[in-house]
């Protein structure tokens, strides 16, 4: 009887020891995973550009890329590259100052797209029938993380805006010419 009691006590102590070690290891892994940067991206329309500025590549396109930090640690973004099936759509370099492109946990930052970047996204939407792309972000400290970006909505907005603006007549005082909104080039 005493031997069985001692054996069950040792068995309970061993089981408790292994349960505590298992819990510590799982908790440590979870905290390590929470230290990894986690980002979410949204492509959103900001404003309608003026018709006379549409052909210039460096002008603002009226669209912005919103980067949301959904992780537990701050992120210092060095570079954002949008890719579709191993092809680079465009590269967005936020700024040279790392403190300007820092995103605190549960905060977001907006990166305006110029006309050339937006045209590249539209080209991949239209010609390669892409609805999603991968945003690869270079983070300070030689790390990188990837997130999926939905670009299918941009295709719908782009087709609607092109169809609506394709045959707008200019008033008589401007020689009755038509505004030609050209499709994006590769």
Domains of the chain (ranges; CATH) run 35-174 (2.60.40)
| pLDDT over 70 at 179, yes or no | no
The pLDDT > 90 percentage for the chain reads 9
Per residue in 64-95, pLDDT (tens digit) is 888 888 888 888 888 888 888 877 888 887 65
| pLDDT over 50 at 121, yes or no | yes
Q: What span, in angstroms and rounded, lies between the C-alpha atoms of 120 and 84?
A: 11
Specify the pLDDT at position 175. 36
Specify the pLDDT at position 186. 41
Report, as an integer, the average pLDDT of 122-145: 79
Return the DSSP state at 174.
G
* Matching residue, tokens 């539209």: 122
The highest-confidence range among 59-63, 64-68, 171-175, by mean pLDDT, is 64-68
Q: What span, in angstroms and rounded, lies between the C-alpha atoms of 134 and 43?
A: 13
Q: With contact defined as beta carbons under 8 Å apart, do 135 and 96 qualify? A: no
Report, as an integer, the average pLDDT of 5-28: 92
Specify the pLDDT at position 3. 83
90 backbone φψ class: left, alpha, beta (φ>0; ψ -120 to 50): beta
Q: With contact defined as beta carbons under 8 Å apart, do 159 and 129 qualify? A: no
Supply the pTM of this predicted model. 0.64
| pLDDT over 80 at 34, yes or no | no
Specify the pLDDT at position 177. 35
Specify the pLDDT at position 14. 94
- CA–CA distances in Å: residue 85 to residues 10, 88, 124, 143: 58, 8, 11, 21
Q: What span, in angstroms and rounded, lies between the C-alpha atoms of 110 and 92?
A: 12
| pLDDT over 70 at 168, yes or no | no
Residue 163, Cβ neighbours under 10 Å: how many? Answer: 10
The more confident residue out of 97 and 181 is 97
Contacts of 147 (CB under 8 A, 6+ apart): 39, 40, 41, 134, 135, 137
């Amino acid at each position: 009887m005493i031997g069985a009691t001692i054996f069950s006590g040792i068995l309970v102590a061993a089981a408790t020891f292994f349960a505590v070690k298992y819990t510590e290891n799982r908790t440590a892994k979870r905290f390590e995973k929470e230290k990894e940067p986690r980002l979410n991206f949204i492509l959103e329309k900001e404003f309608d550009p003026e018709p006379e500025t549409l052909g210039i590549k460096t002008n603002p396109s009226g669209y912005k890329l919103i980067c949301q930090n959904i992780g537990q640690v701050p992120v210092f973004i060095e570079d954002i590259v949008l890719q579709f099936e191993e092809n680079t759509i465009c590269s967005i370099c936020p700024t040279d100052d790392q403190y300007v492109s820092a995103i605190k946990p549960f905060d977001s930052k907006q990166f305006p797209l110029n006309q050339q970047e937006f045209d590249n996204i539209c080209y991949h939407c239209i010609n390669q029938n892409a609805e999603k792309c991968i945003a690869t972000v270079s983070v300070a400290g030689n790390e990188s993380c990837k997130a999926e970006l939905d670009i299918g909505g941009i295709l719908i907005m782009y087709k609607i805006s092109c169809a609506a603006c394709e045959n707008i007549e200019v008033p008589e005082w401007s020689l009755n010419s038509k505004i030609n909104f050209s499709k994006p080039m590769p």
